[in-house]
């Protein structure tokens, strides 16, 4: 479907917010791992829905409701097309966090019993740790934690050894580390897990703007992502599930729209995916996400990755000239996420200085406190790049950090 070259100047014109200033300086938005900016087509789609089509979906028989239903369904079709699934495998949720909670609470008890075990990794976002801890406290299974090697990669040998243990039933992994930029070999891990009958859950929140995911080829049981990381709105996300898994799962929440028949004698539930979409859905968010998917599908993912990697290399090469610079996560072929510390400068102080120069980066533990403990730091500074960032912005980052070091040290 890709049909558009990566003309960065033209692409930047699609994103209204990139033309504003930050602290009276041109905005360099380098916090894309936290959220991406939104193209005008996404903003307009949401505005047009509320202006011309606002109606609740499901069961309305008037024209406005039918129009809203058609737009909502089209969004689901766009997502299904991109990830190579059928529309009944696309479950709308508020984001990857809710999606992982849904999987843990509805699917987890079908797989995990007292005395069983599952695998997480040290690099997981809290959203892929805490839901499983809550479930473990209820059921009594063990959570085993895959170590992170010094370069920021998973310990694959450790995973293979664990897969051979009979009581291991599930592994839940991030496809791409939001802190280290590590691109995990999820296809390889999923294929190996399948050999042992181990279920697989993938946190894809960070991977979707940097990888083309074919759910059928990947072969996992579940894959969750957030719309706002792939140029869509906040408050909307998706769980992709295998048909067998979804059909066998009980509902996550109860309420309107997820039912078939309700009586005080008992309730029957709607088919998948509606069974997992209780209450009034975020129709505008779904429409916006569908439009974002269509927008991103204009580009070859290899062109996007090559462009982002070029910016990462410019920034990394420049910052490596600074005494005391340490990059956290140095795996080959990593994503364009540069997480670093500089000896003698607190990341928050650095980010405040960069903010005054119009440069937006993220600092803190990045919702990865266990990983920070492994790295031996309380926080890192993180610059993360997207398709609309420029070489000039990467160089501005380097120059501003060098200036900050000369002043703050």
Residues known to be catalytic: 367
DSSP string of 248-277, one letter each residue: HPPPSS-STTSEEEEETTEEEEPPTTGGG-
Each residue of 94-130: pLDDT tens digit? Answer: 999 999 999 999 999 999 999 999 999 999 999 999 9
pLDDT at 409: 76
Would you give the DSSP letter of residue 278? -
Query: pLDDT at residue 2 above 80?
Result: no
What percent of the chain has a predicted confidence (pLDDT) above 70?
100
What φ, ψ does residue 38 adopt, rounded to 5°? -115, 130
Q: What is the mean pLDDT of the chain?
A: 97
Q: Per the domain annotation, does 1 fall within a domain? A: no
Same-domain pairing of 233 and 325: no
Mean pLDDT on 289-293: 98
Same-domain pairing of 274 and 158: yes
Q: b or e along 363-391 (b: 16 or more beta carbons within 10 Å of the residue's beta carbon)? A: bbbbbbebbbebbeeebbbbbbbbbbbbe
pLDDT at 291: 98
Q: Per the domain annotation, does 93 fall within a domain? A: yes
Residue range(s) defining the domain that contains residue 346:
8-30+300-408
Q: Per the domain annotation, does 129 fall within a domain? A: yes
Same-domain pairing of 211 and 322: no
Looking at 296, 312, 342, the residue that finishes a domain is 296
Each residue of 86-98: pLDDT tens digit? Answer: 999 999 999 999 9
Identify whether the C-beta of residue 57 lies closer than 8 Å to the C-beta of residue 72: yes
- Counting every residue, how long is the chain? 409
Same-domain pairing of 259 and 288: yes
Looking at 246, 274, 296, the residue that finishes a domain is 296
Identify whether the C-beta of residue 389 lies closer than 8 Å to the C-beta of residue 6: no
Q: Per the domain annotation, does 37 fall within a domain? A: no
Looking at 263, 296, 329, the residue that finishes a domain is 296
Strands 21-22 and 259-263: unpaired
pTM score of the predicted model = 0.97
Q: Per the domain annotation, does 2 fall within a domain? A: no
Same-domain pairing of 291 and 307: no
The confidence band for 1, taking pLDDT boundaries of 50, 70 and 90, is: low
**From CA 365, how far away is CA 348, in angstroms rounded?**
11
Same-domain pairing of 280 and 312: no
Same-domain pairing of 260 and 370: no
CATH of the domain at 66: 3.40.640.10
Q: Which residues have C-beta within 8 Å of that of residue 145, sequence separation ≥ 6?
A: 119, 120, 121, 122, 370
Axis crossing angle, helix 301-319 with helix 391-408, rounded to the nearest 10? 20
CATH of the domain at 391: 3.90.1150.10
Tally of domains within the chain = 2
Same-domain pairing of 310 and 206: no
Same-domain pairing of 18 and 72: no
Q: Per the domain annotation, does 35 fall within a domain? A: no
CB atoms within 10 A of CB 194: 14
Query: pLDDT at residue 363 above 90?
Result: yes
Same-domain pairing of 14 and 70: no
Each residue of 24-62: pLDDT tens digit? Answer: 999 999 999 999 999 999 999 999 999 999 999 987 889
Tell me which residue has tokens 């047009």. 48
Same-domain pairing of 288 and 310: no
- 17-23 — which CB contacts under 8 Å span 24+ positions? 18/388, 21/358, 22/355, 22/358, 22/359, 22/360, 23/355, 23/356, 23/357, 23/358
Same-domain pairing of 273 and 324: no
Enter the tokens of residue 13. Answer: 């014109």
**From CA 375, how far away is CA 148, in angstroms rounded?**
9
């Amino acid at each position: 479907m890709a049909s558009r070259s990566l003309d960065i100047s033209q692409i930047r014109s699609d994103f209204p917010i990139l033309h504003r200033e930050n602290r009276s300086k041109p905005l360099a938005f380098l916090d894309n791992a936290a959220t991406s900016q939104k193209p005008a087509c996404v903003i307009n789609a949401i505005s047009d829905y509320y202006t011309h089509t606002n109606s609740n979906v499901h069961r309305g028989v008037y024209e406005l409701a039918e129009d809203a239903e058609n737009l909502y369904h089209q969004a689901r079709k766009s997502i299904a097309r991109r990830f190579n699934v059928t529309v009944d495998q696309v479950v709308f949720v508020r984001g990857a966090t809710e999606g992982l909670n849904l999987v843990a609470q509805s699917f987890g008890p079908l797989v995990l019993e007292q005395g069983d075990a599952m695998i997480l990794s040290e690099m997981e976002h809290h959203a892929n740790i805490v839901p499983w801890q809550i479930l473990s406290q209820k059921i009594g299974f063990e959570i085993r934690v895959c170590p992170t090697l010094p370069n920021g990669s998973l310990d694959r040998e450790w995973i293979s050894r664990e897969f051979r243990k009979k009581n291991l039933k599930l592994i839940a992994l991030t496809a791409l580390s939001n802190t280290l930029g590590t691109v995990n070999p999820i296809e390889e891990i999923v294929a190996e897990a399948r050999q042992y009958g181990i279920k697989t859950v993938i946190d894809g929140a960070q991977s979707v703007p940097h990888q083309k995911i074919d759910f059928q080829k990947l072969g996992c049981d579940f894959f969750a992502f957030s719309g706002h990381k792939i140029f869509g709105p906040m408050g909307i996300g998706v769980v992709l599930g295998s048909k067998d898994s979804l059909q066998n799962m009980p509902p996550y929440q109860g309420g309107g729209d997820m039912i078939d028949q309700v009586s005080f004698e008992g309730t029957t539930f709607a088919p998948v995916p509606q069974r997992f979409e209780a209450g009034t859905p975020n129709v505008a968010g779904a429409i916006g996400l569908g439009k974002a998917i269509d927008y991103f599908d204009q580009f070859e993912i290899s062109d996007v990755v090559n462009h982002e990697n070029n910016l990462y290399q410019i920034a990394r090469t420049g910052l490596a000239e600074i005494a005391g610079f340490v990059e956290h996560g140095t795996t080959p072929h990593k994503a364009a996420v540069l997480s670093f510390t500089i000896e003698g400068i607190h990341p928050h102080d650095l980010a405040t200085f960069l903010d005054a120069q119009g440069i937006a980066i993220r600092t803190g533990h990045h919702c990865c406190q266990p990983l920070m403990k492994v790295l031996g730091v309380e926080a890192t500074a993180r610059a993360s790049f997207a398709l609309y960032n420029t070489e000039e912005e990467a160089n501005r980052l380097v120059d501003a950090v060098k200036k900050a070091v000369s002043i703050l040290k």
